[in-house]
């Protein structure tokens, strides 16, 4: 066993045996996957063994079931359990989105861990509740898993007199409601039953938030690959050491070899970094047509220092020199608090189809006293696609065999959310039109058709949990009103009308679009054909629409995008132009 020095920066934790003093101590571990970093999880387990907790609980994502057969899944669980065997204490497990993605892997989880998908138990004067949102993720549990939620309410009612109640699950579905002040049935339940703390993973980083006396703590990586290792963003290998004695409970955040206050990265810090990421560095985007060569743009970059500290240090661009040229590549910068600076950047794009990886620039930013993070800004490239006028319309039958499709050049080159080339299986999207309709054809490759997830069959059901193609249409190109359409491999649509009003997104799920959709299968693909009557949109632009799409592939747990950033921001949509 390796030995580690653990510095205790704060928390008065009595390291004597809990048996004599009535104290209980447990460890909360974070994610080992996706992409475990060799040696880190083992080293974290070694450290935990030195602390001698009464039990250890994980917040999910210990293995990777995507693309793995059942025998490999059992091998992964065996490896995890062998590593954790040195922990001479009880071990409890929470199902995560990487651990479970269907009924089979859920059964394997229960058999391998000895834990049900949701359950509760008592330790000392504490009641511990474990929930399962491995397959529902950010969706509010009261809406998508009513049976489990009813069990939770009943369990809390039976145990409402416990000294402390702790709740554990994987993805923090409550966070959207807390950050926006929206009502949340789950948050109300936590208030009603005096929940002491809610622990989860799902963010990939550490975060602490206290609302109305309840701690909400997101545990990040205990061995999983991180986008970066920036402590200023809550990104560091860690786990939690929780001690309970009488009416008191304390949490130490233990970095690999260190201990921090639990507010080392607070909810305020989290929102400050998110706001800084959006507002400190702004830049006008470049525009390029699919297939166009050697396009030059002048992009204006503005840096606004909203910090109380000064910024000193350059902005450095990183880009693939076979795809881009950016001048200047390094921009000197020295800004006092509340100051701004603007400069022009010359961007040359060598090929309008092959855009990924997108250029990025980095800036060291002091977002709070003695706290610095790196703000990474991705070059926004608005893509433009010509929609060819079709001599004969295709038959909408779930097949792409018509000659009308064969004459079109599809969109093929997509990126991931980090601006890198997509690593998922190929996607081809065809666009055409005639005087009355717009036609869309999609071929989504899937080498193993058994991996295709298509469970939703009702209109406006949760198609976003299946494999899907997600569209945005700004048909009048006003960058304010638009439509959202999500179609799964069954051809089932979830759609709504949307608008942006003073920065607020308004949606109407009751609205149903005029789409005619057919689906089909090929030996290694699933196929969609969509016909959109132009006349259905009274207020439309007959020359161009704002447009964007992405593909979600559940078997690889990844998504591929046409234009970034992707989301409910019509100003950032790409453009389709009707010939």
Q: Class of the 21-265 domain? A: alpha beta
Find the mean pLDDT for residues 56-61. 97
Q: Is the pLDDT of residue 21 over 50?
A: no
CA atoms of 364 and 47, how far apart (whole Å): 32
pLDDT of residue 359: 97
Query: What is the predicted pLDDT for the residue at 260?
Result: 58
pLDDT tens, position by position, 393-410: 999 999 999 999 999 999
| Predicted confidence (pLDDT) per residue in 119-163, tens digit | 999 999 999 999 999 999 898 999 889 999 999 999 999 999 999
- Per the CB < 8 A criterion, the answer to whether 290 and 385 are in contact is yes
Q: Measured between alpha carbons, how far is 208 from 98 in angstroms, rounded to an integer? A: 23
Furthest-apart CA pair in the chain: how many Å?
Answer: 85
Q: Is the pLDDT of residue 1 over 60?
A: no
| Nearest-angstrom CA–CA distance, 92 and 115 | 7
Q: 359 — phi, psi (to 5°)?
A: -60, 150
Name the strand (E) or helix (H) holding 45. helix 40-51
Question: Which of 26-40, 204-218, 254-268 shows the lowest per-residue confidence on average (mean pLDDT)?
Answer: 254-268
What class has domain 276-379?
Answer: mainly beta
Which value, in Å, is the radius of gyration of the alpha carbons in the chain?
26
Q: Which residue has the higher pLDDT, 557 or 237?
A: 237
Check pLDDT > 80 for residue 533.
yes
Of 179 and 462, the one with more pLDDT: 462
pLDDT value, residue 9: 36
Confidence category of residue 67, pLDDT binned at 50, 70, 90: confident
Q: pLDDT confidence of 261, banded at 50, 70, 90?
A: low
Confidence grade of residue 331 (pLDDT, cut at 50, 70, 90): very high
- The model's confidence at residue 257, banded by pLDDT at 50, 70 and 90, is low
Residue 265 vs residue 328, higher pLDDT: 328
Q: What percent of the chain has pLDDT over 90?
A: 85
Four-way CATH pick for 383-578: 2.40.50.100, 1.10.10.10, 3.40.50.2020, 2.60.40.1190: 2.60.40.1190
Q: Is 268 helix (H, G, I), strand (E, B) or coil?
A: helix
Q: Specify the pLDDT at position 11.
A: 36
Percent pLDDT > 70 in the chain is 95
The DSSP letter of residue 213 is T
Question: The pTM is what?
Answer: 0.72
**Which pLDDT belongs to residue 181?**
82
Give the pLDDT of residue 313: 84
Query: In Å, what is the CA distance from 124 to each residue of 21, 402, 525?
Result: 12, 69, 54
CA distance to 116, 235, 256, per residue, from 39 (Å): 29, 18, 12
Phi, psi of 281 (to 5 degrees): -110, 120
* For residues 341-367, average pLDDT: 95
Per residue in 166-198, is it b (16+ CB within 10 Å) or e — as a string? bbbbbbbbbbebbeeeeebebbebbeebebbbb
pLDDT at 18 over 90: no
The domain spans of the chain are 21-265, 276-379, 383-578
Q: For residues 566-575, give the mean pLDDT.
A: 95
Residue 370: which pLDDT band, with cuts at 50, 70 and 90? confident
Q: Check residue 182 and give its pLDDT.
A: 85
pLDDT at 33: 95
User: What integer pLDDT is reported at residue 7 of this predicted model?
Assistant: 38
pLDDT value at residue 184? 93
Q: Is-same-fold flag (21-265; 383-578)?
A: no
Tell me what pLDDT residue 19 has.
36
* Average predicted confidence (pLDDT) for the chain: 92
Cβ neighbour number for residue 505 with a 10 Å cutoff: 11
- Is residue 258 predicted with pLDDT exceeding 70? no
> Strand ranges (DSSP E) for 153-245?
164-168, 197-200, 207-211, 214-218, 238-245
Tell me the per-residue pLDDT of 270-302, one tens digit each, with 9 for 90 and over.
889 999 998 999 999 999 999 999 999 999 999
pLDDT in tens, 79-109: 999 999 999 999 999 999 999 999 999 999 9
Q: What is the mean pLDDT of residues 535-541?
A: 93
| Average pLDDT for 430-445 | 97
């Amino acid at each position: 066993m390796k030995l580690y020095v653990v510095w205790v920066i704060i928390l008065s934790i009595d390291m004597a045996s809990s048996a004599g003093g009535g104290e209980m101590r447990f460890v909360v571990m974070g994610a080992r996957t996706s992409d475990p970093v060799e040696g880190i999880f083992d080293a974290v387990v070694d450290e935990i063994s030195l602390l001698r907790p009464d039990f250890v609980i994980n917040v999910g994502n210990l293995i990777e079931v995507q693309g793995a057969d059942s025998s490999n899944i059992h091998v992964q669980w065996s490896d995890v359990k062998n590593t954790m065997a040195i922990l001479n204490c009880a071990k409890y497990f929470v199902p995560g989105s990487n651990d479970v993605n269907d009924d089979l892997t859920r059964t394997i989880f229960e058999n391998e861990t000895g834990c049900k998908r949701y359950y509760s138990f008592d330790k000392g004067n504490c009641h511990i509740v474990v929930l399962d949102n491995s397959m529902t993720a950010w969706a509010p549990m009261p809406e998508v898993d009513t049976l489990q939620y009813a069990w939770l309410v009943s369990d809390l009612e039976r145990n409402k007199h416990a000294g402390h109640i702790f709740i554990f699950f994987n993805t923090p579905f409550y966070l959207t409601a807390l950050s926006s002040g929206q009502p949340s049935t789950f948050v109300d339940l936590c208030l009603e039953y005096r929940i002491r703390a809610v622990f989860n993973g799902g963010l990939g980083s550490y975060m602490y938030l206290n609302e109305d006396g309840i701690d909400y703590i997101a545990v990040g990586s205990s061995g999983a690959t991180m986008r970066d290792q920036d402590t200023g963003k809550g990104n560091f290998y860690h786990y939690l050491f929780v001690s309970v004695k009488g009416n008191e409970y304390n949490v130490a955040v233990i970095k690999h070899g260190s201990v921090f206050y639990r507010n080392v990265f607070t909810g305020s810090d989290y929102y400050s970094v998110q706001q800084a990421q959006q507002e400190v560095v702004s830049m006008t985007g470049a525009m390029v047509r699919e297939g166009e060569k050697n396009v030059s743009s002048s992009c204006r970059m503005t840096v606004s220092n909203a910090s109380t500290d000064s910024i000193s240090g350059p902005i450095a661009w990183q880009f693939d020199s076979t795809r881009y040229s950016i001048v200047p590549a390094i921009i000197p910068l020295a800004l006092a608090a509340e100051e701004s600076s603007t400069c022009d950047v010359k961007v040359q794009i060598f090929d309008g189809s092959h855009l990924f990886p997108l250029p990025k620039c980095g800036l060291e930013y002091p977002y709070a006293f003695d706290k610095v993070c790196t703000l990474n800004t991705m070059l926004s490239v608005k893509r433009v696609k010509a929609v060819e006028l079709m001599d004969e319309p295709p038959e909408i039958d779930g097949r792409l065999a018509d000659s009308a499709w064969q004459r079109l050049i599809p969109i093929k080159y997509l990126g991931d959310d980090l601006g890198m080339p997509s690593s998922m299986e190929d996607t081809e999207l065809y666009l055409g039109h005639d005087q009355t309709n717009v036609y869309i054809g999609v071929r989504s490759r899937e080498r193993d058709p058994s991996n295709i997830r298509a469970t939703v069959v009702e209109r406006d059901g949760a198609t976003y949990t299946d494999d899907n193609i997600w569209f945005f249409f700004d048909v009048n190109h006003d960058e304010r009103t638009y439509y959202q359409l999500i179609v799964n491999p069954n051809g089932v649509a979830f759609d709504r009308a949307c608008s942006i009003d003073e920065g607020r997104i308004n949606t109407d799920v009751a609205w149903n679009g005029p789409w005619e959709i057919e689906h089909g299968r090929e030996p290694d693909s699933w196929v969609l054909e969509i016909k959109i009557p132009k006349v259905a949109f009274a207020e439309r632009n007959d020359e161009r629409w704002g447009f964007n799409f992405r593909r979600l592939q559940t078997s690889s747990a990844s998504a591929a995008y046409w234009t970034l950033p992707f989301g409910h921001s019509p100003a950032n949509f790409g453009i389709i132009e009707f010939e």
